[in-house]
Amino acid sequence: MNGHGETEPLIPNDETVQRDSRTLRNRAVAWSVLTAFLIAVGVVALVDPSFVSDIGLSSGKLPRDPKLAAQRVLDIAPVIDGHIDLPIVARFVWRNNVTDIPLDGQMPMHVDIPRLREGKVGGFFWSVYVGCAKPEDEGADFLTATWRVRDTLEQIDVAKGLISKYPNDFSYAVSTSGIKSAIRDRKIASILGVEGAHQLGNSIAVLRQYYELGVRYVTLTHTCHNAFADSCGYLIPSVPRHYGLSPLGFRLVEEMNRLGMLVDLSHTSDMTATQALLHSKAPVIWSHSSARAIHDVARNVPDEVLSLVGFGEGQRDAVVMVNFNGPFVAADGEADIEAVADHIEHIAKVAGVKHVGIGSDYDGIEVTPTGLEDVSKYPALIAELYQRGWSKQDLVGLTGGNFLRVFEGAEKVAKELQAAGTLPKYDIYEKRDDLPPREL
Ligand SMILES: [Zn+2]
C-alpha cells in the first residue's frame, strides 16, 4: 500500500512520475493475471461450488469435504485422548519388558505409533491402571491389598520407559504448557493418569508422591468401592458403601485441588460424582465416560450430573471425554461411529459444547465401535461431526481445547491455594491398625 508520509513529496517530480508509471504498468499486468485466475476459479466454482472451499480459498473456513475438513481441524488441534490403556497391555503381554515392546511396529490391540500418527494424535493420558483386588484379598475395610501400590509404580515405570524409548514420537508432559510444546514439536504429549483411588493404598501421602512422579489425574474409583469413594459398578449400579465420598474422600479432593492433580469422575457413582463436582474448587474431568441418556448403563453420566457442569451459577467447569467401549455406547452389536457421535452431541447439548472431549479407552476395551476400531480412526469421527454441522471452533474444543482449558483451570486453582498457604492434608484412614491411635 502506497501512503504519503511526511517525507514524501505531495506533488511528484519527474523521477517519481516515471517510477509511478512503471509501477502502474506492473500493477496492470498483475491485475490481469489475477483477474484471469479469478475467472477460472469462478468457472470451476460454477461447475462445483465446493471447489472454492475445498482448496481452502475462503480463508479460515474448512473445506466442504468432511475428510479434508477433519484433517484440517486435526492439523490445528490434534486429539488429546483422556484415557488409553497401553501400559496394561505392556504388563499382560510383555511383563513390562520395555525393550521387547514394538510400539513403532504392529501392536496387538488398538495403539501403536504408526496408527497414532495416522489418527493425528497430539497427546494422551497413559493410564497406569492396576485392577481392583478381589474382596477376599483386600478385606472388608480395603486394608490388605497394598501390593497395588507396587503394581502402580511398575505401571508408571513401564509408561515412562516406553515414552523415553521413542523420543522422536513421544514427549513426556506434566502440564498444559508441556502438552502444548509437545504438539508444537509434532510429538505426542504423554501424560500419566492413575485409574482408581484403590491404587493409593488408602493414603493421601501416596497421592502426593504419585504427583511427584508425574501423575496428573486420579480417577476417584475404578469398578470397586475404596476407602475414599463409591464406584458406579459396571453396567448395573453397585450398592453404595459411603453414599458418595467418605470423609477421607472429601480431604482427598481438597488435596488434589491443592496439588493440581485433576479429579477424574469416570467410574464413580452418581453420588460420588455430584459431591466431588460440588466440593472441588478446581474444574474436573471425566477421562472416559459417555452419556446415560443415549445408552442406559451405570458407567455413563446421567443428565442430572451433566446439568451441574458449565460456567453458570452452581455449576463447575468440566470436560466429559467420551468413551468408545461398545457396551457403553449402544446395545450389543450396535456400537458404531454414529452412536459415538450421538453421545458427543448429547453431552454438548446438556452440558455445553465447551464441556465435551474424547477419552476412547483404547487398549482397555474388547469391543470397539464399527468405524472406530483403533487410534487411526479419530479423523472419521471428526468428519462425522462436521457433516452434522459442527463448526471448526467446536471441533477444536472437542479434540483437545476443552480439556486444555479445564487442566489450565486446575493448575490455576493449585497455584492460588498454594500461594494462600493452604496446608497439605495429613488425614489418615481411620480403619488402619498399623499406626498408633490418634491422641485425643
Ligand atoms: Zn476405565
The grid coordinates listed for 256 are 488434589
The enclosing H or E element of 178 equals: helix 176-184
Kindly give the distance from the C-alpha atom of residue 197 to the centroid of ligand 1, in angstroms, as a whole number.
12
Give the SS3 label for residue 399: helix
pLDDT grade, residue 393 (50/70/90)? very high
Kindly give the distance from the C-alpha atom of residue 388 to the centroid of ligand 1, in angstroms, as a whole number.
29
For residue 41, pLDDT beyond 80: no
For residue 215, what are the β-bridge partners?
192
Q: Are 103 and 165 in contact (CB under 8 A)?
A: yes
For residue 187, pLDDT beyond 80: yes
Q: Are 125 and 201 in contact (CB under 8 A)?
A: no
For residue 43, pLDDT beyond 70: no
The grid coordinates listed for 119 are 489418527
The residue-averaged pLDDT of 218-228 equals: 97
Kindly give the distance from the C-alpha atom of residue 222 to the centroid of ligand 1, in angstroms, as a whole number.
7
Share of the chain above pLDDT 90, in %: 80
Burial of residue 297, with CB atoms counted within 10 A of its CB: 0-12 exposed, 13-18 middle, 19 or more buried: middle
The angle that helices 66-76 and 378-387 make with each other, rounded to 10 degrees, is 120
CA 109 to chain centre: 20
For residue 20, pLDDT beyond 70: no
Kindly give the distance from the C-alpha atom of residue 358 to the centroid of ligand 1, in angstroms, as a whole number.
13
The residue-averaged pLDDT of 263-292 equals: 98
The grid coordinates listed for 344 are 458427543
Kindly give the distance from the C-alpha atom of residue 67 to the centroid of ligand 1, in angstroms, as a whole number.
30
Report CA-CA distances (Å) from 219 to 262, 267, 305: 8, 7, 17
pLDDT grade, residue 138 (50/70/90)? confident
* Average pLDDT taken over every residue of the chain: 89
Kindly give the distance from the C-alpha atom of residue 32 to the centroid of ligand 1, in angstroms, as a whole number.
62
pLDDT at 305: 98
For the chain, domains (ranges, CATH) are 72-284+390-419 (3.20.20.140)
For residue 257, pLDDT beyond 90: yes
Whole-prediction pTM value? 0.86
From the list 195, 169, 171, the residue with the least C-alpha distance to 88 is 195
For residue 6, pLDDT beyond 60: no
The residue-averaged pLDDT of 395-412 equals: 98
Kindly give the distance from the C-alpha atom of residue 354 to the centroid of ligand 1, in angstroms, as a whole number.
23
Q: What are phi and psi of 194, to 5 degrees?
A: -95, 130
For residues 309 and 319, give the distance between their C-alpha atoms in angstroms, rounded to a whole number.
8
Catalytically active residues, by annotation = 83, 85, 195, 222, 267, 288, 361
For residue 50, pLDDT beyond 50: no
Kindly give the distance from the C-alpha atom of residue 128 to the centroid of ligand 1, in angstroms, as a whole number.
11
For residues 430 and 427, give the distance between their C-alpha atoms in angstroms, rounded to a whole number.
9
DSSP per-residue letters across 33-58: HHHHHHHHHHHHHHH-THHHHHTT-S
More confident residue, 245 or 21: 245
The residue-averaged pLDDT of 45-74 equals: 68
